[in-house]
Structure 1
Amino acid sequence: MHKIMITGATGLLGRTLYNTLKNEFAVIGTGFSRAKAPILPLDLSDHEAVTAFLEWHKPTVLVHAAAERKPDACENSPEQTIALNVAASAFLATECAKRNIRLLFISTDYVFDGHDAPYLESDSTNPVNLYGKTKQQAEQAVLAASPLHSVIRIPVLYGDVTTLSESAVTVIATQLKANEQTSHDDWAIRYPTHVEDIALTLRELLKQPNELGGIFHISDVQAMTKYQMAQVMAQILGLDSNLLLPLGKPSQSAARPYNCALADSRLKPLGIAFSRDFKTAVGEVLTKTNNIQM
Structure 2
Amino acid sequence: MRGGERFTVALIGASGLLGRAVAAELAQNAKEWRIVRTAHRRGDADSVSLDIRDHDAVRAFLRDTTPDAIVVAAAERRPDVCENDPALARALNVDALRTIADEARSLGAWVLSMSTDYVFDGTRPPYLPDDAPAPLNAYGRSKLDGERALLGCHPKSCVLRLPLLYGPVVDWSESAVTSLTPAIVASANSAHSASAPATMDAWATRYPTYTPDVAVVIRHMLEHHARGATISGITQWSGDEPMTKFDIAERIARVLNVNAKLVAQRTPTDSTPRPRDCHLDSARLESLGIGRRTRFDTAIAHLLARYPALPSQ
Q: TM-score, normalised by structure 1?
A: 0.97
Cα distance between partner residues in 2 of 1:293 and 1:169 = 15
Q: Which amino acid aligns with 1:232?
A: R
Cα distance between partner residues in 2 of 1:33 and 1:196 = 20
Superposition pairs of residues 219-258 of structure 1, within 5 angstroms: 219-241=238-260, 243-258=261-276
Q: Which amino acid aligns with 1:239?
A: V
**Number of residue pairs matched by the alignment:** 293
Partner of 2:141: 133
Alignment of 1:146 with 2:154, yes or no, is: yes
Alignment of 1:17 with 2:22, yes or no, is: yes
Superposition pairs of residues 103-122 of structure 1, within 5 angstroms: 103-122=111-130
Structure 1 residue 211: Cα displacement: 3.6
Superposition pairs of residues 267-282 of structure 1, within 5 angstroms: 267-282=285-300
Contact 1:165 1:174 in 2 (8 A): no
Cα distance between partner residues in 2 of 1:194 and 1:260 = 17
Cα distance between partner residues in 2 of 1:92 and 1:62 = 9
Contact 1:12 1:161 in 2 (8 A): yes
SS in 2 for 1:51: helix
Q: Which amino acid aligns with 2:95?
A: A
Contact 1:158 1:195 in 2 (8 A): yes
Which one of 180, 194, 201 corresponds to residue 210 of structure 2? 194
Structure 1 residue 150: Cα displacement: 0.1
Gaps of 5+ in 1: none
Structure 1 residue 237: Cα displacement: 1.5
Partner of 1:39: 47
Structure 1 residue 2: Cα displacement: 2.3
SS in 1 for 2:305: helix
SS in 2 for 1:132: helix
Contact 1:152 1:216 in 2 (8 A): yes
Cα distance between partner residues in 2 of 1:205 and 1:55 = 23
Contact 1:72 1:252 in 2 (8 A): no
Which one of 265, 278, 292 corresponds to residue 283 of structure 2? 265
Q: Which amino acid aligns with 2:203?
A: W
Q: Which amino acid aligns with 2:167?
A: G
SS in 2 for 1:273: coil
Structure 1 stretches of 4+ moved >4 Å: none
Partner of 1:160: 168
User: Percent identity, aligned pairs only?
Assistant: 38
Alignment of 1:178 with 2:189, yes or no, is: no
Q: TM-score, normalised by structure 2?
A: 0.91
Contact 2:59 2:99 in 1 (8 A): no
SS in 2 for 1:245: strand
Contact 2:201 2:245 in 1 (8 A): yes
Alignment of 1:102 with 2:87, yes or no, is: no
Cα distance between partner residues in 2 of 1:249 and 1:90 = 38
Larger radius of gyration: 2
Contact 2:246 2:264 in 1 (8 A): yes
Structure 1 residue 289: Cα displacement: 4.0
Cα distance between partner residues in 1 of 2:286 and 2:125 = 19
Moved more, 67-76 or 189-198: 67-76
Cα distance between partner residues in 2 of 1:111 and 1:235 = 33
Alignment of 1:55 with 2:74, yes or no, is: no
Q: Which amino acid aligns with 1:175?
A: A
Structure 1 residue 170: Cα displacement: 0.3
Cα distance between partner residues in 2 of 1:237 and 1:15 = 25
Partner of 1:82: 90
Structure 1 residue 35: Cα displacement: 1.8
